[in-house]
């Protein structure tokens, strides 16, 4: 019996488990392979929906489904958070007291937005990165905000969805224009980067739009503390800004289980090969998505594309094949810029983002993803994604010695039949 344990039932973990269950369907039914998915929550959120909850008033329930609706029936869903991952014992201990041993492990525990990391931030700010309920609090605050300064701040990097702070500023601008009080509101964007968007070519697109909409920018602003009583935000550089409403992207770190298990870096991210997604120094252990220390955007698209590589590689290993794949660093993050337009921040490890014009087609594509996300998790849209994203995986040059071979179908054939 080959045991695959996937820890984390978010975007990447759910998709990887589904790909594996599809590819290994016969082996699972034949008792040769098992796939267990360890999750904290029954509810699975579509996290980009937080922006709509915060700035368009969507219901927090709109972008949530039960995990059990999203996974294939070959998968055992263990709704019991992992407490400790032990690489030596090849086991995952759950908070509920179970010990799951594995031959292959996928770490997909994501990243945690944590306002407590900056003094005063939790008390003095609202945010749309800790979940739909907190996002709703922004919408409620906006209903009674009749004028003053709204600061949109990046309080730490890296954070989930690099374009999301810029989107927040654009969406706020649109919101106040619709309410007819834009002239009474100052929107100030506080960023630690030297320009409005970290990638220079994208910043060249964002900057003139910020100017045109009257969104003020303060660069090199590394947030140090927030004074929630006097409503001031301070930077390490010694700057201070007064605000009436502070909407901040909190600092992020890796999941508690990574930190508690001592298997991450100082921020709790897992040291992972940026091509094969193998965890450094471990056999049969992979990490994907926001949980890794790879310097690529923490985004669902990245988790998705890495999942395909990891599922393929695990099936190859189980199959005794050296046919391993590498992810090429493809990112594709949408940024809504108001006026029913959007851009996509697209790049690979080898090619940085290029500048582009905002368009309504990109806006429609961004919006439609909220509808297709749930289907994307079962692998049935892979043909479309392959056309859209182009080639995102390549054969590994270095051959990897397989372990415990069991003959199964290649992932590319079987997953797409799902």
Ligand X SMILES: Cc1cc2nc3c(=O)[nH]c(=O)nc-3n(C[C@H](O)[C@H](O)[C@H](O)COP(=O)(O)OP(=O)(O)OC[C@H]3O[C@@H](n4cnc5c(N)ncnc54)[C@H](O)[C@@H]3O)c2cc1C
User: By the criterion CB under 6 A, which residues form the site for ligand X?
Assistant: 7-13, 38-41, 47-48, 50-51, 81-82, 108-110, 128-129, 160-161, 164, 255, 257, 289-291, 298-301, 303, 333-334
Looking at beta carbons only, is 258 or 408 nearer to ligand X?
258
The nearest distance, CB 194 to ligand X, in angstroms, is 23
User: Could you give the CA distance from residue 254 to residue 111 in angstroms, rounded to a whole number?
Assistant: 5
Q: Which is nearer to ligand X, 12 or 115 (CB)?
A: 12
- Helix (H), strand (E), coil (C) string for the chain: CEEEEEECCCHHHHHHHHHHHHHCHHHHHCCCEEEEEEECCCEEECCCHHHHHHHHCCCCCCCEEEHHHHCCCCCEEEECCEEEEECCCCEEEECCCCEEECCEEEECCCEEECHHHCCCHHHHCECCCCCHHHHHHHHHHHHCCCCEEEEEEECCCCCECCCHHHHHHHHHHHHHHHHCCHHHEEEEEECCCCCCCCCHHHHHHHHHHHHHHCEEEECCCCEEEEECCCCEEEECCCCEEECCEEEEECCEEECHHHHHHCCCCCCCCECECCCCCEECCCCCEEECHHHECCCCCECHHHHHHHHHHHHHHHHHHHHCCCCCEEECCCEEEEEEEECCEEEEEEECCCCCCCCCCCEHHHHHHHHHHHHHHHHHCCCCCHHHHHHHHCCCEEECCCCCCCCCCCCCCCHHHHHHCC
Q: How far is the CB of 302 from ligand X (least distance, A)?
A: 7
- Closest approach, Cβ 33 to ligand X, in A, equals 21
Nearest residue (beta carbon) to ligand X: 10
Instruction: Name residue, tokens 């990245």.
Output: 302
Give the count of beta carbons closer than 10 Å to the beta carbon of residue 409. Answer: 17
CB of 263 to ligand X, least distance (A): 12
**Min CB(202)–ligand X separation in Å:** 14
Q: Residue 2 or residue 272: which is nearer to ligand X going by CB?
A: 272
Of 92 and 408, the one with the shorter C-beta distance to ligand X is: 92
Minimum CB distance to ligand X smaller for 168 or for 408: 168
Burial group, residue 262, by CB count within 10 angstroms (0-12, 13-18, 19+): exposed
Which residue, 234 or 328, is less far from ligand X as judged by CB? 328
By C-beta, is 44 or 188 nearer to ligand X?
44
CA angle (219, 224, 228) in 5-degree steps: 105
Compare residues 27 and 382 and give the one whose CB is closer to ligand X. Answer: 382
Distance CA 356, CA 164 (A): 18
Among residues 84 and 195, whose Cβ is nearest to ligand X?
84
Contact partners, residue 378, CB within 8 Å, separation at least 6: 18, 70, 72, 418
Kindly state the tokens that stand for 112: 């945690």
| Least distance CB 109 / ligand X (angstroms) | 4
Work out the angle at residue 332's Cα, subtended by the Cα atoms of residues 326 and 338, and round it to the nearest 5 degrees. 170
- Nearer of residues 13 and 156 to ligand X, judged by Cβ: 13
Min separation Cβ 289 and ligand X, Å: 2
Nearer of residues 6 and 315 to ligand X, judged by Cβ = 6
- For residue 243, the minimal CB distance to ligand X (Å) is 20
Please, what is the minimum distance in Å from the beta carbon of residue 320 to ligand X?
28
């Amino acid at each position: 019996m080959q045991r695959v344990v996937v820890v984390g039932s978010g975007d990447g973990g759910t998709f990887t488990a589904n790909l594996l269950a599809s590819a290994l369907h016969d082996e699972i039914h034949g008792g040769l392979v098992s796939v267990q998915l360890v999750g904290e929550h029954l509810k699975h959120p579509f996290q980009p929906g937080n922006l709509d909850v915060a700035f368009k008033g969507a219901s927090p329930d709109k972008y949530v489904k039960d995990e059990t609706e999203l996974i294939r029936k070959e998968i055992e869903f263990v709704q019991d958070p992992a407490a400790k991952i032990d690489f030596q014992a090849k086991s995952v201990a759950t908070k509920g007291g179970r010990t799951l041993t594995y031959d292959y492990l996928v770490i997909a525990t994501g990243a945690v937005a944590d306002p407590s990391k900056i003094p005063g931030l939790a008390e003095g700010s609202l945010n749309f990165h800790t979940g739909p309920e907190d996002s709703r609090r922004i919408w409620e605050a906006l209903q009674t905000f009749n004028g003053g300064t709204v600061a949109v701040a990046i309080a730490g990097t890296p954070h989930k969805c690099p374009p999301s702070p810029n989107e927040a500023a654009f969406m706020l601008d649109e919101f106040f224009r619709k309410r007819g009080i834009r002239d009474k509101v100052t929107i100030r964007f506080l960023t630690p980067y030297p320009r409005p968007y970290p990638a220079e070519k994208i910043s060249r697109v964002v900057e003139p739009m910020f100017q045109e909409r009257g969104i003020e920018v303060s660069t090199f602003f590394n947030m140090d503390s927030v004074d929630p009583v006097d409503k001031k935000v301070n930077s390490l550089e010694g700057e201070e800004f007064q605000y009436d409403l502070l909407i901040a992207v909190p600092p992020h770190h890796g999941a508690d289980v990574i930190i508690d298990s001592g298997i991450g870096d100082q921020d709790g991210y897992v040291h992972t090969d940026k091509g094969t997604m193998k965890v450094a120094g471990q056999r049969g252990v992979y990490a994907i998505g926001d949980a890794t220390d790879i310097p690529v955007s923490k985004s669902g698209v990245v988790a998705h594309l890495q999942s395909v590589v990891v599922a393929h590689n695990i099936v190859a290993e189980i199959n005794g094949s050296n046919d391993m794949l590498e992810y090429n660093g493809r990112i594709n993050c949408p940024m809504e810029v108001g006026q029913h337009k959007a851009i996509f921040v697209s790049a690979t490890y080898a090619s940085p983002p290029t500048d582009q014009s905002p368009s309504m087609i990109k806006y429609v594509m961004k919006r439609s993803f909220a509808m297709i996300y749930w289907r994307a998790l079962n692998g049935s849209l892979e043909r479309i994604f392959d056309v859209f994203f182009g080639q995102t995986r390549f054969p590994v040059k270095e051959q990897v010695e397989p372990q415990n071979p069991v003959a199964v179908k290649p992932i590319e054939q079987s997953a797409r039949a799902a």
